[in-house]
Amino acid sequence: MSLMSKPIVAVKSVVIRFAGDSGDGMQLTGDRFTMDTASLGNDLSTLPNFPAEIRAPQGTLLGVSSFQLHFADHHVRTAGDAPDVLVAMNPAALKANIKDIPRGATIIVDKDEFTSRNLTKVGYETNPLEDGSLDSYKLHAVALTSMTVSALSELPLSRKEAERSKNMFALGLLSWMYHRPTEATEAFLKAKFSKKPDILEANLIAYRTGWNYGETTEDFANSYEIASAHMAPGTYKNIGGNTALAYGLVAAAHQANLPLFLGSYPITPASEILHELSKHKKFGVTTFQAEDEIAAVGSALGASYGGALGVTTTSGPGLALKGETIGLAVMLELPLIIVNVQRGGPSTGLPTKTEQADLLQAMFGRNGESPTAVIAASTPSDCFDMAMEAVRIATTYRVPVILLSDGYIANGSEPWKIPDVKDFPDLSVEFAKTQENFMPYERNPETLARPWAIPGTKGIEHRIGGIEKQDKTGAINYEPANHDFMVRTRQAKVDGIEVPDIVVDDPTGDAQVLFLGWGSTYGPIASAVETLRNNGEKIAQAHIKYIAPFPKNLAAILEKYPKVITPEMNLGQLAMLLRSKYMKDIVGYNMVRGLPFTTAELVEAAMGVLHND
Contacts with another protein by CB under 8 A: the residue count is 68
* Residue of the chain from 103, 117, 282, 611 that contacts another protein (CB under 8 A): 282
Question: Is residue 301 a contact residue for another protein (CB under 8 A)?
Answer: yes
Contact 34, 44 (CB under 8 A): yes
Least Å distance, CB 229 to another protein, is: 9
Pick 255 or 342: Cβ nearer another protein = 255
Say how far apart CA 557 and CA 416 lie, in whole Å: 29
Pick 212 or 278: Cβ nearer another protein = 278
Three-state SS for 521-572 is HHHHHHHHHHHHHHCCCCCEEEEECEEECCCCCHHHHHHHCCEEEEEECCCC
Least Å distance, CB 593 to another protein, is: 32
Sequence-distant (≥ 6) Cβ neighbours of residue 15 within 8 angstroms: 68, 69, 70, 79, 80, 81, 82, 83, 84, 85
* Residue of the chain from 14, 16, 38, 72 that contacts another protein (CB under 8 A): 38
Q: Tell me which stretch binds another protein (CB under 8 A): 204-212, 451-459, 563-571, 580-588.
A: 451-459
Say how far apart CA 402 and CA 311 lie, in whole Å: 10
Pick 117 or 478: Cβ nearer another protein = 478
Least Å distance, CB 612 to another protein, is: 43
* Residue of the chain from 234, 425, 500, 507 that contacts another protein (CB under 8 A): 234
Give residues 121-140 in contact with another protein (rule: CB under 8 A). none
The one-letter amino acid at 288: F
| Dihedral (CA of 49, 55, 58, 62) sign | negative
Give residues 40-69 in contact with another protein (rule: CB under 8 A). 41
Contact 365, 334 (CB under 8 A): no
Say how far apart CA 45 and CA 77 lie, in whole Å: 7
Contact 78, 93 (CB under 8 A): no
x-marked contacts with another protein along 452-491 as a string, rule CB under 8 A: ---xxxxxxxxxxxxx-------xx---------------
Pick 134 or 339: Cβ nearer another protein = 339
Query: Of 523, 491, 490, which is closest to residue 596 (Cα–Cα)?
Result: 523
Question: Is residue 432 a contact residue for another protein (CB under 8 A)?
Answer: no
**DSSP code of residue 100:** G
Chain centre distance of CA 314: 13
Burial-class residue 81 by CB neighbours within 10 Å (0-12, 13-18, 19+).
buried
* Pairing mode of beta strands 85-88, 400-406: unpaired
Question: Is residue 236 a contact residue for another protein (CB under 8 A)?
Answer: yes
Of the CA atoms within 13 Å of residue 513, those in its CB half-sphere come to 21
Q: Tell me which stretch binds another protein (CB under 8 A): 202-210, 281-289, 444-452, 585-593.
A: 281-289
Question: Is residue 290 a contact residue for another protein (CB under 8 A)?
Answer: yes
x-marked contacts with another protein along 302-341 as a string, rule CB under 8 A: xxxxxxx-x-------------xx-xx---x---------
Q: Tell me which stretch binds another protein (CB under 8 A): 125-133, 246-254, 373-381, 596-604.
A: 246-254
x-marked contacts with another protein along 380-419 as a string, rule CB under 8 A: --------------------------------------xx
Residue 233 phi, psi dihedral angles, 5° rounding: -60, 145
Question: Is residue 254 a contact residue for another protein (CB under 8 A)?
Answer: yes
Question: Is residue 283 a contact residue for another protein (CB under 8 A)?
Answer: yes
x-marked contacts with another protein along 515-534 as a string, rule CB under 8 A: --------------------
Pick 134 or 394: Cβ nearer another protein = 394
Burial-class residue 284 by CB neighbours within 10 Å (0-12, 13-18, 19+).
middle
Least Å distance, CB 562 to another protein, is: 41
* Pairing mode of beta strands 540-544, 513-518: parallel
Question: Is residue 250 a contact residue for another protein (CB under 8 A)?
Answer: yes
Question: Is residue 3 a contact residue for another protein (CB under 8 A)?
Answer: no
Say how far apart CA 17 and CA 220 lie, in whole Å: 18
Q: Which helix (H) or strand (E) holds 190?
A: helix 183-192
* Residue of the chain from 131, 292, 495, 585 that contacts another protein (CB under 8 A): 292
* Residue of the chain from 232, 480, 534, 611 that contacts another protein (CB under 8 A): 232
Q: Could you list the residues that contact another protein (CB under 8 A)? A: 35, 38-39, 41, 184, 228, 231-238, 247, 250-251, 254, 259, 261, 263, 280-284, 286, 288, 290-292, 294-295, 298-308, 310, 324-325, 327-328, 332, 418-419, 421, 455-467, 475-476
